[in-house]
């Protein structure tokens, strides 16, 4: 009698079914972990922009806060100036050419120094590129407190005043 070596079709189907069950459990957890990492990265990026804004204002107080994030960065090798302060990573400063960073898109708007203190403000936002890349939007202004939308609200924080109305992030 000949013995056949190998696996039967039933055995192979059982192994494939087990692999599919494990994948069905693991993939959603992996996506949630990735979104959580993107959220943490976004909060860190907002912090970096805040620090860059404050340093820029201190270094170039006759200019005030820059109108966009671009002057906060600078291409390597970077030489500090009003146009390229070299305070944050250039990928973050240019928002990676509109592609964002770690699944988030960032923007900062500042007002130049003027006759009143009201003009010395900046406003930073970070919003997920989609519901698959992050769980909420972040914002901050010159008090440097990171504020966040409720979980699941990924819409961009629409204004300086709207950001003021949000609760601070707990550390």
Helix or strand (DSSP H, E) at 170: none
What's the total number of domains in the chain? 1
Residue 170 forms part of a structural domain:
no
pLDDT of residue 118: 46
pLDDT tens by residue, the chain, 171 residues: 667 778 888 999 999 999 999 999 999 899 999 999 999 999 999 999 999 999 999 998 888 888 899 999 998 899 999 999 999 999 999 988 778 899 999 999 987 555 444 458 899 999 999 999 999 999 999 999 999 999 889 999 989 999 999 999 886
Residue 90 forms part of a structural domain:
yes
pLDDT of residue 54: 92
Contacts of 32 (CB under 8 A, 6+ apart): none
pLDDT of residue 114: 54
Residue 2 forms part of a structural domain:
no
Residue 23 forms part of a structural domain:
yes
Residue 169 forms part of a structural domain:
no
pLDDT of residue 141: 94
Residue 18 forms part of a structural domain:
yes
Look at residue 115 and give its three-state secondary structure.
coil
Residue 1 forms part of a structural domain:
no
The single-letter DSSP state of residue 166 is S
Residue 171 forms part of a structural domain:
no
Which domain range does residue 64 map to?
Answer: 10-164
pLDDT of residue 98: 77
Look at residue 127 and give its three-state secondary structure.
strand
pLDDT of residue 152: 86
pTM of the predicted model, to two decimals?
0.82
């Amino acid at each position: 009698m000949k013995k056949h070596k190998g696996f039967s079709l039933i055995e192979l189907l059982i192994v494939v079914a087990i692999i599919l069950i494990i994948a069905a459990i693991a993939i959603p957890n992996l996506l949630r972990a990735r979104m959580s990492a993107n959220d943490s990265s976004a909060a860190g990026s907002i912090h970096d922009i805040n620090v860059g804004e404050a340093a820029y204002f201190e270094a170039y107080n006759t200019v005030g806060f820059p109108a966009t994030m671009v002057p906060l960065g600078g291409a390597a090798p970077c030489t500090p100036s009003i146009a390229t302060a070299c305070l944050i990573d250039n990928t973050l400063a240019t928002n990676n050419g509109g592609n964002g960073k770690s699944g988030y898109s960032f923007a900062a708007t500042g007002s130049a120094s003027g006759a009143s203190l009201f003009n010395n403000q900046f406003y930073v936002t970070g919003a997920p590129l989609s519901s698959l890349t992050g769980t909420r939007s972040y914002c901050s202004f010159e008090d440097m407190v990171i504020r966040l939308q409720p979980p699941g609200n990924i819409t961009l924080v629409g204004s300086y005043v709207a950001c003021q109305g949000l609760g601070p992030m707990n550390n």
